[in-house]
Amino acid sequence: MSSTHIVSIYDEELKYLTRRISEMGGTAEQMVSDAVRALVTTDGALAQKVISEDVVLDNAERQINEKAVLTITKRQPVSADLREILGAVRIAAELERVGDLGKNTAKRVIAVQGSGMPRKLARGLEHLAELALMQLKEVLDVYATRSVEKAKAIRERDDEIDAIYTSLFRELLTYMMEDPRNITPCTHLLFCAKNIERIGDHATNIAETIYFMATGAQPEGERPKDDNTASLVAAEPSA
């Protein structure tokens, strides 16, 4: 009877961590989605809202860390329960960084304002963001269900995001070469695209953490963490 009581309090503590992670995930998704919308519609007020929300994730991460230390100290968990708590700490750190990337994207709205972003670029950025957010959403669903198979699948599927990022990167370089007035706004859009591409990386890191929580091991096999633009050289414009 007393032991059941202890177990159920302990379950409450694990549920607290799971719930806070889900909340952080929802906030991070909303921030990124709003940041991209603010960028494409040059909505300064929406950008400001995103910037001010970052503190929510900072505080949530701190609270999750404190709860983790308290729970390990009080319950002295081992194996799966311990991995559960350590995994929550790692996922909270990833989500806090996703929020930072949303905030940095929102900050660039002001530099891009008034530059008349070509429709094609805006669509490219929106599409990139949709894919990255879908990956983040799926990995948070996997966190709720702890499916090892699904975690592995997400980890192996970063390629589409990379392909779109590479094509956006090329396109932005071309715009910059066409007209020097495009250089400043397109530079900021390059960093925005990179921010969104990195959200895909964080989703992949979360998938690896879920795999670790479920199995105690890291998933096998190399995965390409870097994008493909690092050695990309654009064709020079015809004079």
Binding of residue 134 to its own copies (CB under 8 A):
no
3-state secondary structure of 41: coil
- CA pair distance 185, 70, nearest whole angstrom: 47
Binding of residue 145 to its own copies (CB under 8 A):
no
| Comparison of 1 and 225: residue with beta carbon closer to its own copies | 225
Binding of residue 45 to its own copies (CB under 8 A):
no
Binding of residue 231 to its own copies (CB under 8 A):
yes
Alpha-helical (H) ranges within the chain are 2-40, 44-75, 79-107, 109-112, 119-145, 148-155, 159-178, 183-215
x/- letters, 54..93, toward its own copies (CB under 8 A): --------x--x--xx--xx--x-xx--xx--x--xx--x
Q: Are 125 and 40 in contact (CB under 8 A)?
A: yes
x/- letters, 202..221, toward its own copies (CB under 8 A): ----------x---x-x---
3-state secondary structure of 113: coil
Q: Are 91 and 209 in contact (CB under 8 A)?
A: yes
Q: Are 146 and 81 in contact (CB under 8 A)?
A: no
Binding of residue 198 to its own copies (CB under 8 A):
no
Nearest Cα neighbor of 35 from 119, 129, 115, 116 is: 129
Give min distance, CB of 10 to its own copies, in A.
15
Residues forming the site for its own copies (CB under 8 A): 62, 65, 68-69, 72-73, 76, 78-79, 82-83, 86, 89-90, 93, 100, 103-104, 107-108, 110-111, 173, 176-177, 180-181, 183-184, 187-188, 190-191, 194, 212, 216, 218, 225-226, 230-234, 236-237
